[in-house]
């Protein structure tokens, strides 16, 4: 008997048929189910199509431009908030800090006579210092992120009222309005700001060691420490980025309103957190992608604007946003538990 014959399978047995097509489709469907980004992107398409079919003005150019400006506020805050959540933290101050940033920029420009670019730069530096303060207390004194950012939330709202005396600041430079009113090929400049922030955040988180280390810190802090990752600096950097992005939102808002109103910013942190969670960011940290976060912000804007286009009472918008957040958290936990069991 030759060596070739010895390697043949015994009689009566046949190799199992290859189910390449079925396994490929099954694997693709499983990857889609595991990926929250796919679901929220599909939801964006469905929501837009349904509302556009029932509200003729919803898909008009003018309304799309309005949504682009609104999206800049929600989306940029959501990106900053998500970076903090990815480390296992939370930033409840982003809304109030955005409102305070608008007040500071206007106050420096109108009351102190600083040119608008200088006023904006000083405001961003102040907000970056606030973010550094958050990160330092969280990492060095182990202050819970919820507590320290809630303190800043309260202080920022109080400072906005104290600086203005409860009266909006008028007479701001036209540069602020230009940032929010100009178009590039019929696309509002704030929407381009949002796209730019998304691209930069995507590159940092997906293509650099810093981004991977941030994910590692949120996924397992002790393992990250043993791997030599500078945990403190990575956590601090996310709080600084969150505060800087909040300051940018504040500057864009006063430009859009052409006035610095101390009542602006209340409750925006909840919308930012909702957009992050809807986009697939785990509240336990270490999980979530920038594409999903951007899609989550877009979905919330589609819903909010769609309710207005359908003439639904504004009072129900918060109910819907809360419901969307609750469903997103529930689905996130169910998905994590199901696929977690599968991996174990």
Q: pLDDT, tens digit, for every residue of 215-266?
A: 999 999 999 999 999 999 999 999 999 999 999 999 999 999 999 999 888 8
Q: Is residue 326 part of a domain?
A: no
Least Cα distance to 87 among 189, 257, 230 occurs for 230
User: In the prediction, which pLDDT does 22 show?
Assistant: 53
Question: Would you state the structure tokens that stand for residue 6, as one six-digit string?
Answer: 């010895």
Q: Give CA angle at 269 (250, 173), nearest 5°.
A: 5
Mean per-residue pLDDT over the chain, rounded: 87
The verdict on residue 50 lying in a domain is no
Measure the CA–CA gap between 200 and 63, rounded to whole angstroms: 27
- In terms of C-beta distances under 8 Å and separation of at least 24 residues, what long-range contacts does 154-160 make, across chains too? 154/96, 156/93, 156/96, 156/97, 156/99, 156/100, 156/265, 157/96, 157/99, 157/100, 157/265, 157/266, 159/100, 159/103, 160/96, 160/99, 160/100, 160/103, 160/262, 160/265
What is the reported pLDDT for 64?
94
Show the tokens assigned to 79. 């990106």
Domain that holds residue 230: 71-266
**Worst-scoring range by mean pLDDT, 93-107, 111-125, 238-252, 323-337?**
323-337
Domain count along the chain: 1
Does residue 303 fall inside a structural domain?
no
Is 262 within 8 Å of 47 (Cβ atoms)?
no
Check if the beta carbon of residue 266 is closer than 8 Å to that of residue 95: yes
12-26, 62-76, 151-165, 305-319: the lowest-pLDDT one:
12-26
**Count of alpha carbons within 13 Å of 175, Cβ hemisphere only?**
13
pTM for the full predicted model: 0.86
Task: Report yes or no on 259 lying in a domain.
Answer: yes
User: Six-digit token pair at 137?
Assistant: 């207390």
Is 290 contained in some domain? no
28 burial via Cβ count (<10 Å: 0-12, 13-18, 19+):
exposed
Residue at 305 is within a domain: no
Residue 217's CB: how many other CB atoms inside 10 A?
Answer: 25
Residue 32 pLDDT more than 70?
Answer: no
327-336 in b/e burial notation, b at 16+ Cβ within 10 A? Answer: ebbeebeebe
Number of other CB atoms surrounding residue 211 within 10 Å: 19
DSSP category for residue 93: T
Strands (E), 50-200: 183-184, 187-188
pLDDT, tens only, 276-307:
988 889 888 888 999 999 999 999 999 989 98
Contact 91, 269 (CB under 8 A): yes
Lowest mean pLDDT among 148-152, 308-312, 329-333: 329-333
Dihedral (CA of 228, 35, 89, 341) sign = negative
CB 304 within 8 A of CB 254: no
Residue 330 in any domain: the answer is: no
Q: What is the pLDDT of residue 202?
A: 96
Q: Per the domain annotation, does 258 fall within a domain?
A: yes
DSSP string, 212-260: HHHHHHHH-HHHHHHTT--HHHHHHHHHHHHHHHHHHHHHHHHHHHTSB
């Amino acid at each position: 008997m030759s060596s070739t014959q010895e390697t043949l399978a015994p009689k009566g047995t046949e190799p199992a048929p290859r189910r390449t097509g079925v396994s490929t489709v099954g694997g693709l469907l499983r990857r889609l189910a595991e990926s929250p980004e796919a679901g929220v992107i599909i939801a964006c398409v469905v929501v837009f199509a349904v509302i556009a079919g029932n509200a003729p003005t919803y898909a008009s150019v003018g309304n799309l431009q309005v949504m682009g400006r609104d999206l800049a506020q929600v989306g940029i805050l959501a990106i900053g908030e998500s970076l903090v959540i990815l480390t296992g933290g939370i930033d409840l101050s982003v809304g109030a800090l955005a409102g305070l940033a608008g007040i500071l920029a206007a106050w420096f420009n109108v009351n102190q006579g600083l040119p608008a670019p200088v006023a904006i730069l000083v405001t961003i530096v102040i907000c970056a210092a606030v973010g550094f303060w958050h990160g330092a207390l969280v990492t060095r004194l182990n202050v819970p992120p919820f507590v320290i950012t809630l303190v800043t939330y309260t202080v920022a709202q109080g400072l906005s009222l104290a600086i203005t005396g409860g009266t909006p600041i008028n007479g701001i430079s036209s540069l602020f309005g230009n940032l929010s009113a100009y178009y590039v090929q019929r696309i509002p400049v704030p929407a381009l700001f949002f796209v730019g922030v998304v691209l930069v955040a995507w590159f940092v988180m997906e293509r650099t060691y810093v981004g991977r280390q941030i994910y590692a810190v949120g996924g397992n802090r002790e393992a990250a420490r043993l791997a030599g990752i500078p945990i403190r600096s990575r956590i601090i950097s996310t709080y600084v980025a969150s505060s800087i992005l909040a300051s940018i939102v504040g500057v864009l808002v006063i430009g859009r309103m052409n006035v610095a109103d101390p009542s602006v910013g209340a409750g925006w942190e909840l919308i930012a957190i909702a957009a992050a969670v809807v986009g697939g960011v785990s509240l336990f940290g270490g999980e979530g992608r920038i594409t999903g976060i951007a899609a989550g912000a877009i979905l919330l804007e589609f819903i909010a604007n769609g309710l207005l286009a359908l003439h639904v009472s504004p009072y129900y918008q918060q109910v819907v946003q809360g419901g969307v957040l609750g469903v997103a958290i529930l689905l996130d936990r169910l998905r994590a538990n199901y696929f977690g069991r599968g991996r174990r």
